[in-house]
Amino acid sequence: MNISKLLPKFLAVLGLSLALAGCGVNDIPTKDQNVKARFADVQAAYQRRSDLIPNLVATVQGYAAQEKSVLEGVTEARAQATKVTIDASQISDPAAVAKFQAAQDQLSGMLGHLLAITENYPDLKSNQNFLALQSQLEGTENRIEIARRDYNSAVQDYNTELVTVPGSLWAATVYKSYKQAQPFQASAGAQAAPVVSFPGASAPTPAPASP
């Protein structure tokens, strides 16, 4: 094998590869992979919350069995949220992402309602298992909020790459199958951790009525 003859070809291929890399040819798939990774973080955070719910419901039920409708509502919302699944290939589908978010937001609302009624049960509020579950749930809600924010940031970066030069040129030629990803939309407080009322957090004192 004549290495001297192959060397120029090798250098030409190497030079072309470096030139293409410098032109951002790899940016779209790289940013796409980042979006998918951040979406996986969101799913993991939601799954962690889902795993906590059965023990939380069982603990509350032991002290507040009369709150049957609320307990059933949380259980049903969890079942629905578990049923509505989405994978990385669907994050460019607005309907799929909206359905997934709606199911999770519904569960968030039911959890907020459940934890609000626990304020009426002092014995439950002093139960160590319940306190530990609340603490874990609060941390999980914070993780969800952060994971969603990171995902939306990655989506914005990726979507911008698809519509600006030079990314738009590569999207129109090399990466025609790549579509814009869908961000999570803001939901009326459904994802905010403070919705979960924790023991010891005093309610705001109403302002005195004007004379």
Mean pLDDT of 38-65: 97
What is the three-class DSSP state of 107?
helix
Cα–Cα distance between 150 and 155 in angstroms, integer? 9
Q: What is the mean pLDDT of the chain?
A: 85
Cα–Cα distance between 57 and 59 in angstroms, integer? 5
Mean pLDDT of 28-37: 97
Q: Looking at the predicted structure, is the pLDDT value of residue 13 above 50?
A: no
Mean pLDDT of 151-180: 96
Mean pLDDT of 79-83: 97
Burial of 153 (0-12, 13-18, 19+ CB in 10 A): middle
pLDDT value at residue 9:
53
CA distance readout (Å), 20 to 24, 168, 170: 7, 15, 11
The model carries a pTM of: 0.80
pLDDT tens, residue by residue, 109-148? 999 999 999 999 999 999 999 999 999 999 999 999 999 9
Mean pLDDT of 146-167: 97
Cα–Cα distance between 13 and 77 in angstroms, integer? 56
Architecture of the domain defined by 27-155: Up-down Bundle (1.20)
Q: Looking at the predicted structure, is the pLDDT value of residue 57 above 80?
A: yes
pLDDT value at residue 207:
41
The crossing angle, in degrees rounded to 10, of helices 27-63 and 68-83 is 160
Contact between 142 and 193 (Cβ < 8 Å): yes
Q: What are phi and psi of 15, to 5 degrees?
A: -65, -40
Cα–Cα distance between 175 and 114 in angstroms, integer? 47
- The closest alpha carbon to 155, from 94, 107, 104, belongs to 94
- Domain spans, the chain: 27-155
pLDDT tens, residue by residue, 175-193? 999 999 999 998 765 444 4
pLDDT value at residue 24:
84
